[in-house]
């Protein structure tokens, strides 16, 4: 039951504005925005702002300084206000869900390990009631059905100069299995939606999702039945709803139930014209996807820090666009990490930690490296309980690694580096620098490299042999330290012609500048020439375990984030891993000297994201003294 306690202020229009008391569940994004404003965590901008690049750059700058949420009251070309940086800090995310986090953590823990409730019933006795109060609820109507609009009237926010058009960046895409269409068997996912550009008609939007995703199962079922797939795209609503759409949940836990738990308010679903509608959303776009019809979607500036290019993806025929009277359009911007979705990742890690040890036996913890674009690099800590009197080589670690590469979103990892927890009880994969140094001090390059070639890859990674095609590399390290890592750059290192610039990126790791990677034959040959040139200089390379071949060695070595981004987003293990003193023993590749990772930009690599200089100057002016953004960044 909702309390009537509230703080009411008067808007400039004369209408009262009431703020919910701090302990209430938000019934709408409007209520949430008012609560953030009441607590000094939201700022309004009354001046009209261009949604073409400017609003996105403002959001990026706000996030970089961990600034407040920002409500653009006047968006050029649209009657609807827009809200950004809602999830811009981890503290603000915790604030939004402050009354629900403990209960949600308990629910996830018990879902992962049901025996917890039996072992400590006094701790979990509320869970059954929480679950019942979180079930989706069917209603006859709702605020979202107050008005109708068009796709063109929505805020047309374009984030990066070469994006194919405006996108919805915080969508909740809802679909049901056509074989059993009911909410508890639905899928709610955050798949990007292109609002315009390319050759979309006025009543069409692009739907970018990989076929293995939850909606892909529904797509395949509709195709098998020869019928269109009904889809609803919810935008806004209580902030828990967007978070539920991106949350990797345990099998059998509905996103709608999770959203109800996190919002402390049941998701209310109505039906209109045969489509499911989230009653409390700010906007709802409904329509159908012809299972056999596609159109070019993209480019789109993505979370690896590069554009994902134009490809054929499903297209949705729009039936209607509904909205609330007080509708607010929430948006974010993705790009080279860290960005606002980094906050999502951190909170997800906090909530899902109990799932890890029971989901993959022997796994203690894992950490997807945000600075490397999340999926390209996964660090993991495992147990080594196989044959305890043979502690000289990884054993159970390899079993755990294989399980991880088939587990949920971890299956998208390109590089998986795993260490044994028994070797250092304080080791934490989230300490990226410490973890990498621990591994490099122990790894044996002749034994501890395990490749998967010609395998599936993340759609957004363009370093493989084709779309969704590439390779993976597992590096497993176990045992006592075998060496002391070099902490100084080697002097007088002889390099082949075209190579210049040697920097120490971290203990045991060098970045070396190489000639531009022109064609595959020439590029791979130049990396091998570096390996051959270094074979006679192993004495100078004492304590150096990894050499990363790059275009700009000083940039790559300047910060840990730069190093991680360049190294793991610009390389494909099967093609770009070389080694000094390379060997092949019964099809197992290794090397006796330092490992060489070729992280130069390749001709087929998607272009990196760069701001528009003219727009940057416009934003500078808005932030100058006397401007509407002064003092925010």
**Tell me: the pLDDT tens digits for 138-179?**
999 999 999 999 999 999 999 999 999 999 999 999 999 999
The 3-state DSSP class for residue 61 equals helix
- Ramachandran bin of 91, using left for φ above 0, alpha for ψ from -120 to 50, beta for the remaining angles: alpha
pLDDT tens, position by position, 30-53: 999 999 999 999 999 999 999 999
Q: Which residue has the higher pLDDT, 559 or 25?
A: 559
Q: Looking at residue 9, what is its pLDDT?
A: 34
CA dist., res. 519 & res. 526, Å (int):
11
Q: Which residue has the higher pLDDT, 354 or 628?
A: 628
Least confident of 58-62, 316-320, 445-449, 524-528: 524-528
What do you get for the CA distance between the two ends of the chain, in Å?
40
Q: Looking at residue 17, what is its pLDDT?
A: 46
Instruction: For residue 320, list its beta bridge partners.
Output: 286
Cis peptide before 338, with omega less than 30 degrees from 0? Answer: yes
Q: pLDDT tier at 251 (50, 70, 90 boundaries)?
A: low
Inter-axis angle of helices 255-263 and 101-112, to 10 degrees?
Answer: 150
By CB atoms closer than 10 A (0-12, 13-18, 19+), residue 416 is buried
Q: Looking at residue 116, what is its pLDDT?
A: 67
Least confident of 382-396, 413-427, 502-516, 603-617: 382-396
CA dist., res. 177 & res. 140, Å (int):
22
pLDDT tens, position by position, 582-617: 999 999 999 999 999 999 999 988 899 999 999 999
Q: Looking at residue 212, what is its pLDDT?
A: 57
* 152-to-200, 201, 202 alpha-carbon distances in Å: 12, 11, 7
CA 144 to chain centre: 28
pLDDT tens, position by position, 95-137: 999 988 888 877 777 766 676 666 766 666 666 656 667 899 9
Cα 609-614-615 angle, rounded to 5 deg: 70
By CB atoms closer than 10 A (0-12, 13-18, 19+), residue 105 is middle
CB 452: neighbour CB atoms within 10 A?
Answer: 17
Three-state DSSP string of 319-374: EEEEECCCCCEEECCCCCCCCCHHHHHHHHHHHHHHHHHHHCCCEEEEEECHHHCC
The 3-state DSSP class for residue 422 equals helix
Sign of CA dihedral 378, 381, 383, 388: positive
Which tokens hold the place of 435? 């973890």
Cα 354-442-556 angle, rounded to 5 deg: 85
CA dist., res. 412 & res. 375, Å (int):
6
Which tokens hold the place of 179? 């074989």
Place of tokens 């996912």: 189
pLDDT tens, position by position, 455-467: 887 777 777 777 7
Q: Looking at residue 522, what is its pLDDT?
A: 87
Q: Are 41 and 69 in contact (CB under 8 A)?
A: yes
Of 356, 348, 365, 353, residue with least CA distance to 248: 348
pLDDT tens, position by position, 289-327: 998 899 999 999 999 999 999 999 999 999 999 999 999
Place of tokens 């993806």: 313
Q: Looking at residue 120, what is its pLDDT?
A: 66
CA dist., res. 611 & res. 440, Å (int):
36
CA dist., res. 181 & res. 228, Å (int):
13
Tell me what percent of the residues of the chain surpass a pLDDT of 70. 91
Which tokens hold the place of 175? 């679909």
CA dist., res. 171 & res. 188, Å (int):
10
Q: Which residue blocks in 267-421 are alpha helix, DSSP H?
A: 341-352, 356-359, 396-404
DSSP 576-611: HEEETTEEEETTEEEESS-EEEE-SPPTTSPPBP--
CA dist., res. 595 & res. 590, Å (int):
9
The answer, yes or no, to whether residue 205 has pLDDT greater than 90, is yes
Q: Are 595 and 545 in contact (CB under 8 A)?
A: yes
- Let me know how long the chain is: 633
Q: Are 274 and 203 in contact (CB under 8 A)?
A: no
Q: Which residue has the higher pLDDT, 81 or 217?
A: 81
CA dist., res. 327 & res. 81, Å (int):
8
CA dist., res. 342 & res. 64, Å (int):
11
The answer, yes or no, to whether residue 236 has pLDDT greater than 60, is yes
CA dist., res. 445 & res. 546, Å (int):
10
Least confident of 127-141, 185-199, 407-421, 485-499: 127-141
Across the chain, what does the average pLDDT equal? 90
Which tokens hold the place of 154? 């929505």
Q: Are 80 and 329 in contact (CB under 8 A)?
A: yes
Q: Are 347 and 90 in contact (CB under 8 A)?
A: yes
The answer, yes or no, to whether residue 4 has pLDDT greater than 60, is no
Q: Looking at residue 20, what is its pLDDT?
A: 46
Place of tokens 């039906």: 271
Tell me what percent of the residues of the chain surpass a pLDDT of 90. 76
The answer, yes or no, to whether residue 620 has pLDDT greater than 90, is yes
The answer, yes or no, to whether residue 23 has pLDDT greater than 50, is no
The answer, yes or no, to whether residue 252 has pLDDT greater than 60, is yes
599-628 burial, b at 16+ Cβ within 10 Å, e below that, comes to bbbbeeebebbebbeebeebbeebbeeeeb
- In 3-state terms, the chain is what percent helix, strand and coil (to 5)? 30, 25, 45
Which tokens hold the place of 335? 């790009």
Q: Looking at residue 128, what is its pLDDT?
A: 63
By CB atoms closer than 10 A (0-12, 13-18, 19+), residue 630 is exposed
pTM of the model: 0.89
For residues 397-401, give the mean pLDDT. 95
Instruction: For residue 331, list its beta bridge partners.
Output: 84
For residues 550-568, give the mean pLDDT. 97
Q: What value does the CA radius of gyration of the chain take, rounded to a whole number of Å?
A: 26
């Amino acid at each position: 039951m909702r309390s009537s306690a509230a703080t009411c202020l008067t808007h400039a229009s004369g209408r009262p504005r009431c703020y919910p008391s701090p302990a209430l569940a938000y019934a709408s994004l409007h209520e949430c925005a008012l609560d953030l404003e009441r607590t000094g965590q939201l700022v309004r901008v009354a001046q009209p702002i261009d949604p073409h690049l400017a609003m996105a750059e403002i959001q990026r700058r706000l996030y970089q300084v961990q600034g407040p949420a920002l409500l653009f009251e006047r968006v050029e070309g649209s009657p609807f206000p827009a809200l950004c940086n809602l999830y811009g800090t981890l503290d603000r995310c915790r604030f939004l869900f402050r009354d629900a986090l403990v209960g949600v953590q308990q629910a996830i823990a018990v879902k992962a390990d049901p025996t917890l409730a039996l072992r400590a019933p006094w701790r979990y006795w509320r869970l059954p009631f929480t679950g019942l109060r979180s079930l989706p609820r069917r209603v006859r109507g709702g605020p979202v059905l107050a008005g109708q609009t068009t796709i063109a009237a929505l805020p047309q926010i374009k984030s990066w100069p070469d994006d194919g058009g405006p996108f919805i960046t915080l969508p909740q895409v809802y679909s049901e299995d056509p074989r059993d269409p009911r909410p508890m068997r639905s899928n709610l996912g955050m798949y990007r939606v292109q609002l315009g550009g390319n050759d979309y008609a006025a009543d069409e939007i692009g739907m970018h999702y990989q076929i293995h995703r939850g909606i892909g199962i529904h797509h395949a079922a509709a195709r098998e039945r020869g019928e269109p797939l009904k889809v609803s795209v919810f935008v806004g609503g209580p902030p828990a709803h967007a978070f539920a759409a991106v949350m990797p949940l345990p099998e059998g836990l509905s996103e709608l139930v999770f959203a109800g738990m996190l919002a402390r308010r049941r998701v209310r679903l109505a039906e209109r014209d045969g489509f499911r509608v989230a009653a409390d959303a700010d906007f709802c776009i409904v329509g159908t996807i012809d299972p056999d019809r596609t159109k070019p979607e993209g480019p789109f500036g993505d979370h690896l820090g590069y554009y994902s290019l134009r490809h054929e993806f499903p297209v949705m025929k729009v039936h209607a666009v509904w909205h609330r009277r007080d509708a607010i359009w929430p948006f974010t911007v993705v790009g080279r990490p860290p960005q606002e979705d980094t906050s999502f990742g951190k909170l997800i890690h906090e909530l899902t930690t109990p799932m890890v040890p029971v989901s993959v036996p022997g796994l203690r913890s894992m950490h997807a490296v945000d600075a490397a674009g999340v999926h390209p690099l996964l660090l993991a800590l495992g147990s080594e309980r196989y044959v305890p009197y043979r502690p000289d080589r990884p054993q159970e670690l390899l079993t755990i690694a294989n399980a991880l590469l088939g587990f949920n979103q971890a299956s998208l990892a390109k590089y998986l580096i795993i260490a044994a927890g028994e070797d250092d009880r304080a080791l934490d994969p989230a300490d990226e620098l410490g973890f990498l140094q621990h591994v490099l001090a122990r790894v044996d390059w002749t034994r501890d490299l395990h490749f998967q070639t010609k395998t599936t890859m993340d759609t957004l990674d363009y370093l493989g042999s084709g779309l969704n095609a590439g390779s993976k590399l597992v590096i497993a390290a176990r045992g006592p330290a075998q060496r002391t890592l070099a902490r100084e750059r080697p002097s007088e290192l002889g390099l082949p012609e075209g190579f210049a610039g040697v920097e120490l990126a971290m203990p045991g790791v060098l970045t070396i500048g190489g000639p531009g990677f022109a064609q595959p034959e020439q590029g791979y040959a130049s990396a091998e020439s570096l390996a051959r040139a270094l074979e006679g200089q192993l004495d100078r390379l004492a304590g150096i375990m990894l050499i990363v071949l790059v275009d700009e060695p000083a940039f790559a070595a300047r910060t840990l984030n730069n190093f991680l981004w360049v190294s793991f987003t610009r390389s494909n293990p099967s093609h770009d891993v070389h080694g000094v003193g390379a060997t092949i023993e019964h099809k197992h590749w290794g090397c006796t000297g330092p490992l060489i990772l070729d992280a130069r930009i390749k001709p087929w690599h998607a272009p990196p994201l760069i701001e528009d200089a003219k727009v940057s100057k416009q934003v500078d002016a808005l932030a100058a003294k006397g401007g509407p953004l002064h003092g925010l960044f």
